[in-house]
Each structure stands twice: as structure tokens, then as C-alpha cells.
Structure 1
Amino acid sequence: MNYGIESIFKSYLEPREVYTGGKNIPASNKKIYKLSSNENPLGASPKAIAALKTAAEQVTVYPDQTDIRLREALVMDFNGQLAADQFICANGGSEIIDMLLRAFINEGDEVIYSNPSFLPYSVFSRWYGANPFDIPLLKPNYDLDVEGILNAITNKTKVIFLTSPNNPTGTYIPKDVLEGFLNGIPKNIIIVFDEVYRHFADAEDYVTALPYVKTGHNIIAINSFSKTYGLAGQRIGYCYTTAKIANYIRQIHKPFLLPITSIEAAIGALNDELFVEKTVKTIHAGRKYLMYEFEKLGITYWPTQGNFFIIDPPIPEFDFTDRLMKDGIMVRPVSQFGALGKVRITIGDQESNEALVHALKKIKPHT
């Protein structure tokens, strides 16, 4: 009997919603301000660019077989608080998410995440046959529903995604909330803690996963060179965790995974503290400026710890994004992330921010 090739297709890979990244800048004769992808408004670190150019001369040979040189650079960046074997590097934060799910998920396992959130948490989980469960952030402030997550845990739960600061809401998980949560979950569950926007957080009670990794919690912190360091196009990211968990995951780390250009650019970026400081100052100044202007215009926004805002547009989301595009401003609707009707706006440099405000005034004049 001929069943056809479809008979060996995995049922959980049948067509469904997929993650769609932000759009690239379209060809245009006018200035376009891309405030849609949370990229660095200053570009990339000069040291990273210099390292990238030097590495370009070596693209005819294979890169490092492992990520050890970058891991050693990360040890220095973390002031020796972690060892090299506690880091794992890969092609961006999304690749890290995929790798972690491959390492821990079997068909029929359960994954918990909280919308609005980064869509790959649920999409990538389905690739491996997991059943993803959404425990939505609590409105109106998009707080983590700790009780809801704890109640949703079953003996099939393997991974819980937490994000702080969260994309697309810009909200964060306060230290006391995170600690109470970590102390309340079973010891056989992995917490994936996405902290790719951590450099921009300045709340007094903001905390990364670092202290909890150091005390042995089953937590894995995802980081990226795409935001603070301006290397989105190089696709380079890393995670850190306990040595036991990292050594387990490393068994599925492919040799020659990282391009030589990405390795060298990332190491160069880690050696440029002044650029990181300038980036953070630019975002904090832009954050303050835009909050002031949003309030003057009566634009509903949520306080943010990231390099972006989520807003409730004064007109329907796609009409809003189309209107802004006519003035050369690219922003992103985030219904796909679970934030129905909302729009995410990246904080740019001052020129970009002023252009945004000018365009907003045409849509919603002063009252």
C-alpha cells in the first residue's frame, strides 16, 4: 500500500502560525527611520566593526571549531563571576531558544510562556512536539501571573519561559517576585530567562538571572549581541547557566557553528565599554523624551525597561502604522505577539525620536 510521503510527516509540524520578523527598510527617495526592530540607534561598536573587517580577510578558512574564545571573553565581561564552561554561544538568541528546546523537550512535554511575548517561545516549542500553554500577563500592567503559572504546572511541564525586560511590553519581573517564583517551582523544571534587553533596565528592583545561576537554580539566561552591541546582522548570542546544565546542552552544540566574522565582532564589542555606556545613555534619554511627548499628546503607553515602548495607538493599529510610514517612520504592530491592537516603537537617536513625534502630531494633535 502506498501511503505517500505525508505518512511520515510529523503531525505537530502541520501548517500553523509562524514567527515573522520585522520588515527591512524599503527602497525610498526619502529618509526612513526604522523604529520597528529594536536595533541599536548608534549602529555597532567601532571596535566590533574593526574586528569584523579584519576577520573578513579570513573567510576562506574554517572558523573556530568551538566557541571557547568568545566564552573566555564573556568570563571577562562578567568580571569572573562565571566560568567559561557556564556559557554557550550560538547564532543569536533565537538559535539559543531552539537549542534549549532540542535539549530538553520530547513529544508530549509541556512548555509554559506568558503572552504578550516573543513568538518563538511557542512556535519553536511546537517544532519538537511540545504542548505550549499561555498563561497571559496580567492586565492592565502586564505583570507576571505567578499563581497562574504555578497552577498550570503538571508532571509533563519541562520548560517555563520568563522574560525581563519583556518584548513587546517593556515590563520586567521585580526581584522579590522572581525569587518567590523560583522557590515555588519543582526542581525538575528548566526556567529559560530571556534577558536580552538587560542593559537598558534601570529599575531598583530589576535583577538578572546571574545571582540565581550562582546559587544553583535550574535557570538559563538568554542574551544577544543584537541590541546593546548593534550586531543584529551578525546573528550572535549566548546563554549562561550552571556548569551541569551547560555541559549537558553542549553535547548538541555543533562544531564550527559560529562564523569567524561573528566571533571576532562579538569579542570586539565586549571590549568596547564606552560604546555600551553611550548606547544605554542614548536609550535612557530617548525614553525620557518620548514619555514626555506621549503624555503631552495623550498617547497611552506602558512604562518600559527596554529600548522600546508599547503603545495603544489613537487609531486602528494598521492604519496607524501606514500613516506613520507615509512620514518615513517604521513601527511594528504586535498583535502577533499577543498584544492585540498595540504597536511597538523602538527608541531611536534624538533625530529619529523627533521625527516620530512630528509624525504623531499629525495623527493626534495637541489637545
Structure 2
Amino acid sequence: MSNGIESIFKPYLEPKEVYKGGKNVPASNRKIYKLSSNENPLGASPKAIAALKKAAKKVDVYPDQTDIRLREALVKDFDGQLTADQFICGNSGSEIIDMLLRAFINDNDEVIYSNPSFLPYSVFSRWYGAKPIDIPLLKPNYDLDVKGILDAITNKTKVIFLTSPNNPTGTYIPKLVLEDFLDQVPKNIVIVFDEVYRHFADAEDYITALPYVKSGHNIIAINSFSKTYGLAGQRIGYCYTTATIANYIRQIHKPFLLPITSIEAAIGALDDRLFIEKTVKTIHDGRTYLMGRFNEIGIKYWPTQGNFFIVDPPIPEFDFTDKLMEHGVMVRPVTQFGAPGKVRITIGDQESNEALVNALKKIKADI
């Protein structure tokens, strides 16, 4: 019997689609290659691990009240192109997305995003009473539908999510396309530009949000320490934007938000340029290797600028992921991301990539 408490529940928090992260490796006596969560195949930076171990001796005391030390380290990482008051740090890129929506969204506002995409864009928007508007990426290449987004803008539009490189498709927004889009968006709309995979992009016309932040556009760039830096378990991310926007958002930034281990690990990771270079090279080499093997085996894939591929499996996606798991390889179906029938495969180290290729050959041979 209800006690009446439901009368104060927010109607837009009724059970709907919920974001579910990738599965962890199950307990097993055999080797499992986890290519399902876009994690760093090299682990974490040795400098980050050393800093984390040192910080572990201080977990009995409160961490830094603010994120200023990490923001100052980010200023150095960005070669002084931004100031410390232009960065905001939080518990992962997802937490940053939540914080931004909390700062800008009111009931019945509209948020535009483009499927296939990272599910929290729409799920988190609903948490704050917004209406998510999906303007799908254009098939067959998953290009941004600039005209579709511009046509969908109303006086209720508050936030537009752009992602480059995009998860799960691996596609990106070329520089001229982005600039044309930014020139046409009304100035009272915030562009949230998710660039967490930026280190892996090598297209000549790929660009981050940095020059547009510097020129004063209302754009917020989301970044994470989970991918390139190998700190997914520490749950730390950040964004950068104009000082005006950052100072506004900082009003809802909680004190003592970041654990001391995360702060120190992130600062250590930023200081390890050699590890970052090794990570990027590993992904680029793996990307080239897998494209060649996919072509040989006959696996349809899309060119990627990330550390993963989206593929069109030769059998139904859940059968495909189950078959790969039988061969000790974990990958992820991405129907939940708005790409029904497709599967995302993370680029691993060479051993993992070879295990994937061998499994694919066996699956194809059995069809």
C-alpha cells in the first residue's frame, strides 16, 4: 500500500532507459581480453600510480577543498593557453555532464544530441526535466546533421551536445563543419563539446574546442582521465570553457569533491608525456593492424578517430558478442547507444588484437 510519498516524486524520474556501463571481466580460469570499455590497454601511467600510492598514506584526512592544484596542472598541460579559472574538475566526464546540465537546465527546456551517442546526454537531461531532442547522425557515414540540428533549435533549446571523436561511431566533426555550425547557433545556447578521445584523433582537419573557447564562443569542452591516462577506476574528468561560464558553473561545485588519490594520480598522469605518447602510438598501430585484418576477414567497420571501432557483425549482435566471449574476447553491443545491430570493439595491445582477429576468423569460418 502506498504511503503517499509518490505524490512528490518528479514525473520525469519515472522508470525509463538507464545508462548501463560495460560489464566487468567475469571470474574465469582462462584469459579474457576485455575490449568492451575503451580502457587504456597499457594500464595507467607509472607516475600516476606512484603518486596514487603516496597519496594513499593520507586517506585519513580530507582532500583539497577545491580543485585548484589540478587546474594549475592542466594550465601547464595546455601550455598556458588557458587560465586556471577556465577549468572545472569533477568525478569523471559523466559527472561533468551532470554538473553542466544541473547548471543550465530547467523543467521543459530542450537539449539536442545526435544518436548514436553516449547515452548520458539524453538520460541525464531527463533527470532535470529537459526534453531530449535526437537529431540522428547521417547514414551511412555517421556525419553530423548540421541542418537538422539548426532546424530543431527553438526558444526552449538550452544545450547542444557535440562529440568529436564520437562514441560509439569513432567519427569526428571536421574543422570547417564545426566552424560553420558555431557561426549559426544562437548566442544564448551552450555547446557541450565532448572530446574525451581527442588524443587519438589524427585527421588533418580534426580540431578540439580550444580555439573556440579562446575566441569567446559559448562552448564547454569535456575531457576525461579514463582513456589516454588509464585512470578509469579513479573517476576523474574536467572541462574547460570561457572564464564567464566556468565561474558561473563553479557556484555549484561541491567542496572536497575530488578524492586525494584522484587528484594526485591525475597530476602525476599529466606529467608523464612519454606514457601518453606510448598510449597514442599503441592505439594508432592497433588501429592500422585491425583495419587490415578486418578487410581480410570481411568484417564491415567504420573508419575511426577513437580507440575503438564500430562494426557491423556478420551475425546478430548479441550472438556475435556471445560467440566472441566463447573465445575469450569481450566486446560491447551498442543498441543502447542508438546503433541497433552494431558492436563496438576497443583497440587493445597487440596480444589482445591478435586474440580478437583469431576469434573473428573462427566465427566467420563457422557461418
Q: Within 2, Cα distance between the matches of 1:85 and 1:140?
A: 41
The 5 A counterparts of 1:103-182 are: 103-182=103-182
Give the TM-score, by structure 2 length: 0.99
Other-structure match for 2:20: 20
> Does 2:240 align with 1:217?
no
Could you list the runs of 5+ residues in structure 2 that have no partner in the other structure? Answer: none
Deviations 1:317-361 (A, max 9, x none): 000000000111000000000001000000000000000000000
The Cα of 1:182 is off from its aligned counterpart by 0.2
Q: Within 1, Cα distance between the matches of 2:226 and 2:129?
A: 29
Q: Within 1, Cα distance between the matches of 2:92 and 2:80?
A: 23
Other-structure match for 1:29: 29
Quick one: which amino acid aligns to residue 183 of structure 1? D
Q: Within 1, Cα distance between the matches of 2:234 and 2:8?
A: 35
SS in 2 for 1:205: coil
The Cα of 1:365 is off from its aligned counterpart by 3.6
Quick one: which amino acid aligns to residue 351 of structure 1? E
Other-structure match for 2:241: 241
SS in 1 for 2:311: strand
Other-structure match for 2:184: 184
Q: Within 1, Cα distance between the matches of 2:224 and 2:12?
A: 29
> Do the aligned partners of 1:312 and 1:342 also contact (CA within 8 Å) in 2?
yes
Other-structure match for 2:38: 38
The 5 A counterparts of 1:261-340 are: 261-340=261-340
> Do the aligned partners of 1:318 and 1:333 also contact (CA within 8 Å) in 2?
yes
Quick one: which amino acid aligns to residue 152 of structure 1? A
SS in 2 for 1:222: strand
Deviations 1:189-233 (A, max 9, x none): 000000000000000000000000000000000000000000000
Q: Any runs of at least 4 consecutive aligned residues in structure 1 with deviations exceeding 2 A, and if so which?
A: none
Quick one: which amino acid aligns to residue 174 of structure 2? P
Q: Within 2, Cα distance between the matches of 1:156 and 1:326?
A: 49
> Do the aligned partners of 1:112 and 1:133 also contact (CA within 8 Å) in 2?
yes
Q: Within 2, Cα distance between the matches of 1:88 and 1:168?
A: 25
Q: Within 2, Cα distance between the matches of 1:357 and 1:298?
A: 11
Q: Within 2, Cα distance between the matches of 1:111 and 1:156?
A: 9
RMSD over equivalenced CA pairs, Å: 1.1
Identity of aligned residues (%): 86
Could you list the runs of 5+ residues in structure 1 that have no partner in the other structure? Answer: none
The Cα of 1:242 is off from its aligned counterpart by 0.1
Quick one: which amino acid aligns to residue 361 of structure 2? K
> Do the aligned partners of 1:297 and 1:366 also contact (CA within 8 Å) in 2?
no
